Amino acid sequence: MIVKIVQDDRVDILDVIKRSGHAHQPNAERSLSSFMMSSSETWVGYADDEVACVCGLIAPTMLSDRAYLWLITTDLVDEHPFLFIRHSQLWMDEVQKRYALISGDVAVGNRRAQRWLKWLGADLGFPIDHKIPFQIRAKA
């Protein structure tokens, strides 16, 4: 299995959503499109040339050292979790060269995503409504 994460903003959004846990959400396509258009960087994770995940960073300004992280995964990440964790850690090392603080939120019930964030070095906050805020600070 060849896994790679590359900067790319050309992806079949409907296919990604169909194979994700968001397929049942009525505004999923619009939300993902909005995240992608707002992102300063969009990345696609592949497993043998098939899309496994899409993520991006939304910075408030071009010169900001802070960014908001979003991610959507497909069934392929579930099939090969440790490969994607390792590649995500390498990706995060590169991203932290540009951003001192990466923040976001994760669904309260999404334990898999919470573990993934912790492996990336995230500090999870206290739940607010149905989400838990997180922060990942660049290593000194």
Q: What domains can you pick out in the chain, each with its CATH number?
A: 3-137 (3.40.630.30)
- Give the other-Cβ count within 10 Å of 1's Cβ: 8
Annotate 4-13 with b (16+ C-beta within 10 A) or e (fewer).
Answer: ebeeeeebeb
Q: Could you report the per-residue pLDDT of 56-104, keeping only the tens digit for each?
A: 999 999 899 999 999 998 888 888 888 888 999 999 999 999 999 999 9
Give the percent of the chain with pLDDT over 90: 66
What is the model's pLDDT at position 68? 97
- 59 Cβ contact partners less than 8 Å away, ≥ 6 residues apart: 40, 66, 67, 68, 99
